[in-house]
Structure 1
């Protein structure tokens, strides 16, 4: 029975076209790996310092590196696919023409997708948020796990993952850019000397700043905001410490613990809520 290809033709194809196709695949794979390696190395070498600005630059480099890496990988494989098609004697002109027509049709039919991708480009280019940041997007709070051209992915404290289209983002609050504040609010009774309260809180802050585990996270001295409000049974006082991003909660917990110790040592008590007891004689 006759076959379409003779052994000589098959061997000739394998030694010429087949070898070239295999080399192109290997070259594309190597280029992809090399590009990924260069991007990862660039991320590691962006900053060598451990200060706050270095931490911010590392997060931005990771975000840009992930987005750029996906773009370069896609470009390499698309280019390799077109070259391989030409090696297989496939006329790619109709493919490119069809891709152009398809792209035009998709452009009309997928305006939302285009809007999402343009919004994603601006989010990345304007450094609005980075992978690892604590952010609030459209009222949803969580840690940023991924920033893609089309979507942003958040994971909240319960582990729930939210995927939000970039074009649907109306409000975006970044809680971990450059620095943060640990804010402490104290309610003290009217007969309490507020100057003594301030001294107690300052002493507590000094103890926190001596803690080796927290000292590097505190960027400035205690900020005494003073009396913030008057209520029926107490005065509201407010203080804050400037910290590294994402360290404010840790610093705040220790600061509150030290404040409790300092207030107890000075005999200062917080006001106890009271209410009128019901009249049981009636």
Structure 2
């Protein structure tokens, strides 16, 4: 009986010696796929919950409109999905590398050789793909830090316009002429974003030197205040208009500065409408505007 048991164990040992390595490799591969599937399911679940939460909050109250605008919701969804995609990719590489090391260990490869090979491959990748790695890391930080998002009006130095796509490697920006620019994230060293938070409409209105400045100032403020109180603009103008005073004085004209704080997405629309109303208001006041060729505006925007 004991001999039979010994023979049985010996047969099992022989079978394992013959098939142990292939079975171990298969188990490692299956385990890697299962681990990746679990991580991917968790990340997908988190992304889904965030996106669902954003959609649920879409009907925000007016007082929360600035922080919960459709643009802000798109940015949250986009950033969440981008981060989820990055995490899935990162998890796949980490799990794959770990599985490869385990498989090579099963095959009897020396651990020191694995470390040397990994160092060599890492050095080769670092030399040959510096640009791609730089693009990837910069794009990752831009997504994480919410520096820009779809629909934003931005100035990236080489290109400016409306952002149409934010990728991990390339950002697409369409300028005012309709040209679509593909900007590598690694080449972006500064981002001027005109669509985050709030914006300010600044109107430097030139009036004749002999005009009644107090009357002009009062009319500008009345026009802007009346516009801000209309239902159409109530949610887009977020603060009381103000006249900052005289910006510059010349022999031909006096420049008065009017400012209105708006939601970032409403800056240009509100500015165009306000300029039209300012013109009508000054016409009613009987103020004849001087020639623009004779005016030199000086102030904090002088260089522009």
TM-score normalized with structure 1 length: 0.73
Residue 104 (structure 1) shift: 3.6
Q: Aligned runs of 1:1-282 on 2, under 5 Å?
A: 35-36=43-44, 38-46=46-54, 48=57, 49=60, 50-55=64-69, 58-74=73-89, 102-272=121-291
SS at match of 1:146: strand
C-alpha distance in 2, partners of 1:268/1:93?
Answer: 92
Contact 1:62 1:131 in 2 (8 A): no
Structure 1 68/236 Cα, relative in aligned 2: closer, same or farther at 3 Å?
Answer: same
C-alpha distance in 2, partners of 1:161/1:117?
Answer: 21
C-alpha distance in 1, partners of 2:203/2:290?
Answer: 16
Residues 163-182 of structure 1 show CA distances to partners (whole Å, capped at 9, x for unaligned) of 21222123321111110011
| RMSD value, Cα | 4.0
Match of 1:88 in 2: none
Higher helix share: 2
Residue 274 (structure 1) shift: 8.3
Residues 171-198 of structure 1 show CA distances to partners (whole Å, capped at 9, x for unaligned) of 3211111100111121101110111111
Residues 90-148 of structure 1 show CA distances to partners (whole Å, capped at 9, x for unaligned) of x9999x99787544412221122222222223323333223322110014211122222
C-alpha distance in 2, partners of 1:129/1:173?
Answer: 9
C-alpha distance in 2, partners of 1:39/1:241?
Answer: 38
Structure 1 124/264 Cα, relative in aligned 2: closer, same or farther at 3 Å?
Answer: same
C-alpha distance in 1, partners of 2:45/2:108?
Answer: 34
TM-score normalized with structure 2 length: 0.68
Residue 81 (structure 1) shift: 8.3
Q: Can you give the 5+ residue segments of structure 2 that lack an aligned partner in the other structure? A: 1-25, 101-105, 295-304
Contact 2:209 2:251 in 1 (8 A): no
C-alpha distance in 1, partners of 2:107/2:199?
Answer: 55
